[in-house]
Amino acid sequence: MTKRLGEILIEQGAISPDGLRSGLEACRRNGGRLGTWLVRLGVINEGTLLEALTRQTGYPPVTTLQLTTAPSEIRALVPLAFAKRNLVLPFARHGRSLDVAMVDPNNLLVVDEVARLTGLTPRPHIGTEATLAAALAVAATASRATAAPPPPPARLSGREWRQFWRLESAVPELMRGLDAAALPAPAVAAATFPRLGPIESAVQARGGAARLGEALADAADRDRVADLVVESLAGSAFRVALFSVYQGKVTGWRSRGDAIGAEDFHNLLLPLDRPSLLLNLSQGVEIHVGPLGGGEGNTLLLDALGDPPPTEAVVVPVRVRGKVVAFLWLDQGAGGVAGISIPLVQEVARLAGLATEILVLRQKVRAGARLTEAVPSD
């Protein structure tokens, strides 16, 4: 099992337990990464942090000099907005391989997106948050100084255009879905072992999700969707987390709650086929309400969520066209699931799935609009 950054730094003699506690307290109060706060507090320097991160992740390190002196054409392979949002920057190319600096080289979603954007095979390198931020600032300045109009899109034939334009759903229909009235909910009871308790109706929960639907309709990217979803439920539970599913693996995506350490949460990498409560949810179960049970998979989840560990949780899958793309998690720490609105959580998960599908369709529409300009007018 991968060692935590704090453990590695203590083993190296770089920090004391008191220094580690200061960094963890800063993370809990302000959010962010433990290593970044240790540097800001003057407990360690950037070189020590990079050495520890290299040992922790197993990825080769990258320095500020390597990033700031990288050719501009290499840096430009990844859009600057995407690079800033995910703290990722390409800095060298070797044939079909692209060396990419990342603060989280284990984030398979970002690695795959870099591959899609560049058409190359990424080779992740570990960099510190401050190093990447400084390099991205240099890249932004250079980009403004050398901005040039983009090349015209490649011309396609009418036949190729017709093959591209095959949307499975109409965008207006999905947009209306965000404001659609909720279906009447039957009278049911939520399983909160060892007892059963009545839950409020979905119609009541709909009122709390209406404003979320309006905000999601304007979301420009999946990270904004995640932020809105987690923020909408932040006051409903001690801990709120959104786990992403990609290529059969579950990773930490967004979270709210003082107990959750950003490093442990984002370092989670749980194969979905490993026994855990998420496995049942991925195979058709609509919701989990109650105890978490044992097993290695659930242990990994609890480690990522911090102390005190939850005794019970409400977990709902987020689906797009029947495929699970995320899991929405809420718990009350040692207090079970008391006070968590089950219909509200289900409604928020439904809206998150709709918003994600809309983003996919919007990308197709924008790409289609660009291709239309390339179709001959004869």
Secondary structure in 3-state letters for 18-68: HHHHHHHHHHHHHCCCHHHHHHHCCCCCHHHHHHHHHHHHCCCECCHHHHH
Q: Which residues of 266-277 are buried (b: 16+ CB within 10 A; e: fewer)?
A: bbbebebebebb
pLDDT tens digits in sequence order for the chain, 378 residues long: 678 999 999 999 999 999 899 889 888 888 888 999 998 888 899 899 999 999 999 999 998 888 888 898 999 999 999 999 999 999 999 999 999 999 999 999 999 999 999 999 999 999 999 889 888 888 777 666 555 555 555 554 544 444 444 444 555 555 555 555 544 544 444 444 444 444 443 334 445 567 888 888 888 888 999 999 999 998 889 999 999 998 889 999 999 988 888 888 888 888 888 888 898 888 888 898 888 877 788 888 988 898 888 889 999 999 998 899 999 999 998 888 888 888 999 999 999 999 998 988 887 777 766 656 655 554
- First-to-last CA distance in the chain? 63
Q: Going by C-beta distance under 8 Å and a sequence separation of 6 or more, which residues neighbour residue 128? A: 35, 36, 39, 46, 49, 50, 53, 103
Sequence letter at residue 207: G
Q: Is the peptide bond before 186 cis (omega within 30 degrees of 0)?
A: no
Centre a 10 Å sphere on the Cβ of residue 303 and count the other Cβ atoms it contains.
17
81, 105 contact by CB (below 8 A) = no
- E strand or H helix at 117, and its extent? helix 108-118
The residue count for the chain: 378
Rounded Cα gap, residues 18 and 25, in angstroms = 11
Check residue 298 and give its pLDDT: 86
Rounded Cα gap, residues 85 and 83, in angstroms = 6
Q: Going by C-beta distance under 8 Å and a sequence separation of 6 or more, which residues neighbour residue 50? A: 61, 63, 126, 127, 128, 131
| Beta bridge pairs of residue 125 | 101
Check residue 353 and give its pLDDT: 92
Exposed, middle or buried: residue 152 (CB in 10 Å: 0-12, 13-18, 19+)? exposed
Helix (H/G/I), strand (E/B), else coil: 269: strand
Check residue 3 and give its pLDDT: 85
Rounded Cα gap, residues 347 and 114, in angstroms = 32
Q: Going by C-beta distance under 8 Å and a sequence separation of 6 or more, which residues neighbour residue 23? A: 6, 15, 34, 37, 38, 41, 43
Rounded Cα gap, residues 286 and 215, in angstroms = 25
Q: Going by C-beta distance under 8 Å and a sequence separation of 6 or more, which residues neighbour residue 324? A: 245, 281, 282, 317, 318
Q: Which residues of 74-108 are buried (b: 16+ CB within 10 A; e: fewer)?
A: bbebbebeebbebbbbbbbbeeeebbbbbbbbbbb
167, 364 contact by CB (below 8 A) = yes
| DSSP classification of residue 360 | H
Structure-block tokens of residue 367: 């790409």
* C-alpha distance from residue 7 to each of 2, 3, 34 (Å): 10, 7, 12
Structure-block tokens of residue 273: 């086929």
Q: Domains of the chain by range and CATH?
A: 5-145 (3.30.300.160), 171-363 (3.30.450.40)
Check residue 120 and give its pLDDT: 95
